Chain A
Amino acid sequence: MDGMSAPVRENAVPPSRPLLSVEGVTLEYKAPGRVVRATQNVSFDVWEADRFILLGASGCGKSTLLKAVGGFIAPREGRILLDGRPVHGPGPDRVVVFQEFDQLPPWKTVRENVAFPVRASGRLSRKEAAERAEHYIEKVGLSRFAEAYPNTLSGGMKQRVAIARALAMEPRVLLMDEPFAALDALTRRKMQEELLALWEEVRFTLLFVTHSIEEALVVGNRIALLSPHPGRMRAEINSHEWDLKSGGSPQFQAAASRIHRLLFEEAGAADGASHE
């Protein structure tokens, strides 16, 4: 199912190197009066058509890491390579879908919101951009709302627009920063389903940040576990065998508790040791 049976695209040859390499990245940001270390010496590789998950509790620097890949933050140490070239600044080859609903310019209709970045990044003519926007709006099932302004849409629909916008730019890697965290549980489940269906169809490369173990197992094919304060790599595990249907199975539960142990037990044990 995964990867092997993908519709043949321009690179039928299996890739010889990872699409995105994060090599020993240490990230720091300035808080008033001090420098906070968000991640320390983090390395991972994302391959073409991966659904790569960064999973960890809050404070593990996963969102900061994603922003660094997006080019919004420069690493203090280490480097980030996309197609073998270091990343400098934000660009349309790495599009981010944020958690916040205000990522959509409210002065543009759904159609304009999806078409505008394609135009702005200067790769397509107006007509081609409009056609591509049409295509991806249809893919996320919002054709009926193409002329609506974002303020009239529900949260789930706004996130669909953001996903359509990101896909329309056909980035090398799609970055998602807890995109469904602000949605209600029913909508979140629906959006996960739709995202996976889109991946089946389009085979984009996804780097996905979440703090939900279930979401990580369901959405991802490989999960990187980060420990907090500062973010350090704890483990990388495979999760390609799980999908939305495997929710309640004992194996799924076992995988979930394994992740839970990896993320939390160490810290708990350390706390216990310090009390003794």
Chain B
Amino acid sequence: MSDILSPGLETMTRAIPPVRPEYERPLEPLAETKGEELLPIYQRLWQYAWLRKSLILICLALLWEIAAKLQGNELLLPSFTASMKALVEDISNGIIPSRAVSSLEVLIKGYAAGVVLAFVLTSLAVSTQVGRDLLSTLTSMLNPLPPIALLPLALLWFGLGQGSLVFVLIHSVLWPLALNMYTGFTGVPETLRMAGRNYGLRGLRYVLLILVPAALPSIIAGLKIGWAFAWRTLIAAELVFGASSGKGGLGWYIFQNRNELYTDRVFAGLIMVILFGLLVENVLFRQLEQRTVTKWGMTR
């Protein structure tokens, strides 16, 4: 060590890059680009997410089938094939579609009202201090409150029927969506806000033309969460009191068939609920995202 530190040796071991001749030359012509090499077929197929996911679904269905066969009690656990048969049967005779439509009708009413209210509340919150305080107080109070817990009260106020369902749906959509929207609005970059005001935009036009599109990733996230909450709440609420309203939805269909011990139909109803959730999540919202925020490079 001390040898290396001594001055004589240090100069000897210190590396010096050699001075090399310079050159200038014309640019090489562009090389021919080769066509993209194709991956082997199984690797290409594996890149499709839907294919991988369907494979998982098939495995689950197989497991279900085996478990049902081993268990051997149709009343407790009907087989996958029996449940699918019941599903196809009740779809073709129109029972499930009519129940689904009745569920959807209530859902859309509640969801739309919740979205409008959330928009009004957040617009207030971004423009005034009082609105901000109102929103944060209300959301922190009411967001943790399960919508179903409000159902008894709703029944008391609005009676049996759509009114009380819509009420709990609004409750389930409003708070998570308002929270997300507000986070989205506050996250809009300052420069973009100034650019918008520079255009001479003010008030509602400023909110609609600048803040809403700029906050769209958060708004869509909020819409998705709100949708999932609303769908769950609706099915649960129908299970509770669908009995007394004239025509029930999917929740009521499940409840009714359980009472009559048509367990395969119960499973058919559950599958329908799941399918519908998947459809909205993976088709509707996915499309919405791809046509907006993904195309604009706001999310990956």
Question: A: which residues have CB within 8 A of B?
Answer: 67, 70, 72, 89-92, 94-96, 98, 100, 102-107, 116-117, 120-122, 149-152
Contacts and interface: CB of A to CB of B under 8 A. Distances in A.
Contact of A92 (B198, B205, B210): B198
Nearest to B198: A90
Contacts of B209: 120
A98 B195 contact: yes
A95 B191 CA distance: 13
Interface centre among B194, B195, B196, B201 (most CB of A within 10 A): B195
14 contacts: A70-B198, A91-B200, A92-B200, A98-B194, A102-B189, A105-B214, A106-B298, A107-B296, A117-B198, A117-B199, A149-B296, A149-B297, A150-B297, A152-B297
Contacts of B298: 106-107, 151
Nearest to B194: A72
The 3 closest A-B pairs by CB, nearest first: A151-B297, A117-B199, A100-B191
A107 B216 contact: yes
B194 A106 contact: no
B213 A107 contact: yes
Contact of A90 (B200, B205, B292): B200
Interface in B243-300: 292, 295-298
A120 B197 CA distance: 11
B198 A105 contact: no
A106 B196 CA distance: 13
Interface SS of chain B: helix
Contacts of B201: 120
Contact of B200 (A96, A107, A120): A120
A103 B205 CA distance: 18
Contacts of A107: 213-214, 216, 292, 296, 298
A13 B297 CA distance: 49
Contacts of B145: none
Contacts of A103: 191-192, 194-195
A116 to B, nearest CB: 7
A119 B194 CA distance: 17
Contacts of B296: 106-107, 149, 151
A67 to B, nearest CB: 8
A72 B197 contact: yes
Interface centre among B199, B213, B295 (most CB of A within 10 A): B199
Contacts of A152: 297
A107 B189 CA distance: 14
Contacts of A117: 198-199
A105 B214 CA distance: 7
B52 to A, nearest CB: 28
B194 A90 contact: yes
Contacts of B192: 102-103, 105
Given A106-B298, A107-B213, A100 B189 contact: yes
Interface in B193-247: 194-201, 205, 209-210, 213-214, 216
A70 B194 contact: yes
Given A90-B197, A102-B191, 16 more contacts: A72-B194, A72-B197, A89-B197, A91-B198, A92-B198, A94-B198, A102-B192, A103-B192, A103-B195, A106-B296, A107-B213, A107-B214, A117-B199, A120-B199, A151-B296, A151-B298
Given A107-B216, A120-B200, A96 B194 contact: yes
A94 B195 CA distance: 11
A204 to B, nearest CB: 16
A110 B246 CA distance: 55
Contacts of A151: 296-298
